[in-house]
Structure 1
Amino acid sequence: MPATTDNQSSFLNRISIRRNQVVAMENHDLELEDLELFQKHVADRFSHILSTTAGNTTDPSSATTESPSAVQESCPPPLLSISWFRNLLDTYLCCEAEFKAVLVMGRDPTQFTKTPLDKLIPDLLDRSVKALDICNAVTHGVELVRHWQKLAQIAVTALQQTTIGEGQVRRAKKALITLLTSMVVDDKENANSNNHGKSTERAWSFGRRGGSGNNNKDRATGNFRSLSWSVAKQWSAAKQIQAMSANLAAPRGGESTGLAMPVYIMSTVLVFVMWALVAAIPCQERTGLATHFVVPRQLGWAQPMIGLQEKIGEEWKKKEKKGTAGLLEELQKMEKVAQSLVDFADSFQFPLEEEKASEVATQVEELADICRKMEEGLVPLQQQVREVFHRIVRSRAEVLDLLDQVGKLSTPVPY
């Protein structure tokens, strides 16, 4: 988003220059101006995402073989697609950079010890730690999606042969059943805490067998284990989101014109981004995730975010009972096409009728297109999640350094 980047650079330069020179305006007036500009940029960025989001997430016409950057330029990315999330994470990184400038740049650190920042800053730091856990879970979830993409690619390669025989169909069916079973295992069994002990014994690699040679049940299921389970057995992505939003309250009265407001805005942006990622990417235990964290509608900057929240909530309600492993648009399409091809494999007879062959070829091409989009977009998406992780770590460290300075200033000097 070039325009967004230019606005961000201009905004940061403006704060840096102005806070290092003598100005006629009072500091309070300057802060009000900075706050208004920050709110405007947040509103503009999320309005852009909302206005450039394709409304129908399952429309086959939205498929394309172009790179994510080309997709962004040629047509709006569907809601919850890989390209859509890449835009969302870019928006988060821009908002976070401006927020840090408002909060930290040229700031007297003693302000952090005064009401209401003395409570809001610790809450922000705690919220950041929880966001780091979610980033880790999402990173592993993307890795699992990449594994599913490889399974789908096996089926595509088998069914794109000039002549489809029983051998190709069996190979494709094996890969697709492994894919679909893994999706259901991750979405349903992981939600039941009583199954964690058994579930964590599964190995996620395609074709890998369990440690016991006579464990027929494990062999039948392919013995999967989700990479998102590198966290503790009782860890819950939904509970983590709920904990992040627990103390999220809009400033009132005079606090709404001070530093409390940008802290609240950035906290809301952080919770929204993490909530959307957990809804779309396979993560451990997401029961209750559809419950919205409340953002006051009277806040102008929040309107586009509320609009996106409602759209995602609608998608969750439509699909939460279907055993899918996340709302990622490409995953939704992959599951649907994979199930159709498994049904074809179950009724396969050689030689294949011409009409049926044409129908299957169309579905295989659709699955191939999904695999290409995943191949192009998942690694950059994973890198962006890691960048968000490192940005949160750096910003948290800078705030802690300021608090440490305050502690040193308040410590009596021994004589």
Structure 2
Amino acid sequence: MPTADNQGSFLNLISIRRNQVTAMDNDQELEDLELFQKNVADLFSGLFAAASEDQPSSAKSAAETTDSPMTEKAICIPPLLSISWFRNLLDAFLCCEAEFKAVLVSGRDTTQFTRPPLDRLIPDLLERSIKALDVCNAVTHGVELVRHWQKLAQIAVTALQQSPIGEGQVRRARKALTTLLASLLLDDKENAGNGNVHGKSAERSWSFGRRGGAAAANNKDRNGRNFSSLSWSVAKSWSSAKQIQAMSANLAAPRGGESTGLALPVYIMSTILVFVMWALVAAIPCQERTGLATHLPVPKQLAWAQPLVSLQDKIGEDWKKKEKKGNAGLLEEVQRMEKLAQSLVEFSDSFVFPMEEEKAASVASQVAELAEICEKMEEGLGPLQQQVREVFHRIVRSRAEVLDVLDPVSKLSTPVPY
């Protein structure tokens, strides 16, 4: 009889210990989820500081109120939708993606990936990642087009910085600026796919499962500078607006008990992925943006989502105001460049030599501003393109890593035929 009592006591101890371990695992999971949400909120709060009127002080305050390592690069916030701001946005995405992967996979019981709701949410995220790769390629080609605009603007700057300005310099500047404005006003689809716009082939290249890959591979730059080596050609009917719409489909916040489990970080990362791709498409020229959404389905009541929703509202309002046939995008430098180009073309149309002193001072001021924009583009577009490349490769690697985890789990869950 004492032996039976001891056995029962031993089994009770095992049960208690097992419950304690389970409770510790749950506590750690909740702690990881809370930290992930806090870091996401901190990062996007810093990015939203660019949209406020007191940007320098608010940005500094946002950075100083958190000790999160994810916010170290958000201390100095540049103007909203500028090249530097997008570089910060892509940095934020890479930070979130790295932490998300650690929360999702590190130390987890991977068999739960085959059970609801993760058996549906993770495949949805993997499908969105494929679409995001196409958007990355579209944005990369859009950056090349912006580079072309910068070169045209630089020609005008060089001509108009001569002293004194003569008719020859004005004609040269006018020709470059007229070409620039014509390219800016082209329809998105035509501007994206017409090689004559910038004197070389602008053939689109994309990521998976499309014909024409062999030709792209044969033309690849072996020094790694040509992004098209990663991808495949695609029909001109491809639409960046429809791609974003497809990515945002089925993007629903978890409810009930799902909101405290791993379904939440999957939803958060899906939302961040869609938002980043949407913002890039809105700002940088991409093929067929007609009908681009101005609102993404993100609940405002979620603490981590509030700064992201505020950014989305601000960018969406700007898109509604400026959307038109041939919209060049919301990139801040391009918007300023377009206004200056229009003003300088008007000046060239009424140019009389010699210029009045007041007129010369006004033109010199505009040329100096255009030169500043060209310098920012020269310094920022290359690194921005490199970051888009890094995002592309990170998505590919992370997708492969998740599939490596899912593959053996799915095999274990498959019934063995007898």
Please tell me the TM-score bracket, short chain as reference: 0.7 to 0.9
Match for residue 387 of structure 1 among 385, 390, 393: 390
2:146 maps to a residue whose letter is: V
Which of 38, 41, 54 is the aligned partner of 1:43? 41
| Counterpart position of 2:357 | 354
Alignment partner for residue 378 of structure 1, among 371, 378, 381? 381
Partner of 1:249: 252
Structure-2 residue corresponding to 1:141: 142
2:79 maps to 1:81 = no
Pick closer, same or farther for the CA change 1:72–1:305 going to 2, 3 Å: closer
Indicate conservation of the 8 Å contact 1:290/1:317, yes or no. no
The offset of 1:207, in angstroms, is: 10
For the Cα contact (< 8 Å) 1:32–1:257, is it kept in 2?
A: yes
Q: Spell out the pairing of 1:256-275 with structure 2 (5 A cutoff).
A: 256-275=259-278
CA drift at 1:320: 1.4
CA offsets per residue over residues 332-391 of structure 1, 9 Å max, x none?
A: 000000010011111111222221111111111010000000011111111111111111
Q: What is the aligned partner in structure 2 of residue 32 from structure 1? A: 30
1:233 equivalenced with 2:253 (yes/no): no
Distance 1:175 1:135, change over 3 A: same
* Separation in 2, partners of 1:361, 1:248: 50
- After superposition, give the CA deviation of every residue in 1:162-207 in whole Å (9 maximum; x if it has no partner): 11111111111111111110011144xx2xxxxx6x9845423259
**1:307-318 alignment, distance < 5 Å:** 307-318=310-321
Within 2, Cα distance between the matches of 1:183 and 1:24?
A: 59
Deviates more, 1:267-276 or 1:344-353: 344-353
**In structure 1, what residue type is equivalent to 2:93?**
Y
- Residues 143 and 234 (structure 1 numbering): CA distance in 2 closer, same or farther, change over 3 Å? same
Distance apart, 1:401 and its partner CA? 0.5
CA distance in 2, matches of 1:280, 1:231: 22
1:162 alignment partner in structure 2: 163
1:268-307 equivalence runs, <5 A: 268-307=271-310
C-alpha change, 1:147 and 1:168, in structure 2 (3 Å) is same
Deviation larger for 404-413 or 125-134: 404-413
1:118 equivalent in structure 2: 119
Return the letter of the residue paired with 1:243. Answer: A
Question: Unaligned regions of 5+ residues in structure 1, if any?
Answer: 1-21, 58-70, 191-195, 209-226
Q: In structure 2, give the amino acid aligned to 1:41.
A: N
1:409–1:290 Cα change, 3 Å: closer
- Tell me the number of residue pairs that the alignment of Structure 1 and Structure 2 aligns: 353
* Equivalent position amino acid for 2:44 in 1: F
Kept in 2, the 8 Å contact 1:120–1:263? The answer is yes
Of 30-39 and 244-253, the range deviating more from structure 2: 30-39
Q: 1:112 is aligned with what amino acid? A: F
Please report how far the alpha carbon of residue 409 of structure 1 lies from its aligned counterpart in structure 2 after TM superposition: 2.4
Task: Provide the residue aligned with 1:90 in structure 2.
Answer: 91
Task: Give the letter for the 1:163 counterpart.
Answer: P
Quick one: distance in 2 between partners of 1:383 and 1:112? 33
The residue type paired with residue 120 of structure 2 is K
2:90, 2:200 → 1: CA distance? 34
What residue in structure 1 maps to residue 102 of structure 2? 101
Which amino acid in 2 is paired with 1:328? Answer: L
Kept in 2: contact 1:54–1:78 (CA 8 A): no
SS in 1 for 2:43: helix
Q: Deviation string for 1:53-82 (max 9, x for gaps)?
A: 45499xxxxxxxxxxxxx986x64111001
The separation in 2 between residues aligned to 1:343 and 1:47, in whole angstroms, is: 41
Instruction: Map residues 190-229 of structure 1 onto 2, 5 A cutoff.
Output: 190=189, 200-205=193-198
* Alignment partners' CA distance in 1, 2:194 and 2:339: 28
RMSD: 2.6
Q: What's the TM-score, normalizing by structure 2?
A: 0.79
Flag the 1:297–1:174 CA change in 2: closer, same or farther, 3 A: same
Whether contact under 8 Å (1:85, 1:381) holds in the other structure is yes
- Say if 1:368 and 1:231 are closer, same or farther in 2 by CA, change over 3 A: farther
Query: Structure 2 CA distance, aligned partners of 1:87 and 1:269?
Result: 14
What's the counterpart of residue 132 of structure 2? Answer: 131
SS at 2:165's partner residue?
A: coil
Aligned residue in 2 for 1:368: 371
Quote the sequence identity (%): 76
How far is the alpha carbon of 1:232 from its aligned partner? 2.2
Q: Tell whether the 8 Å contact from 2:186 to 2:325 is kept in structure 1 after alignment.
A: no
Which residue type is aligned with residue 205 of structure 1?
H
Greater Rg by CA = 2
Q: Distance in 1 between matches of 2:390 and 2:194?
A: 31
Q: Is the 8 A contact 1:53 1:77 kept in 2?
A: no
Instruction: Identify the structure with bigger relative contact order (alpha carbons < 8 Å, sequence gap 6+).
Output: 1
Structure 2: runs of 5 or more not aligned: 1-19, 56-72, 202-227
Give the Cα separation in 2 of the matches to 1:330 and 1:38.
Answer: 33
Q: Deviation of residue 298 (structure 1)?
A: 1.5
**TM-score where L is the length of structure 1:** 0.80
Deviations 1:93-129 (A, max 9, x none): 1010000001111222211100000111110000000
Task: Report the alpha carbon displacement of residue 410 of structure 1 after superposing the two structures with TM.
Answer: 3.6
1:54–1:79 CA contact under 8 A, matched in 2 = no
CA 1:230–1:408: 2 relative to 1, 3 Å: closer
In 2, Cα distance between equivalents of 1:23 and 1:44: 31
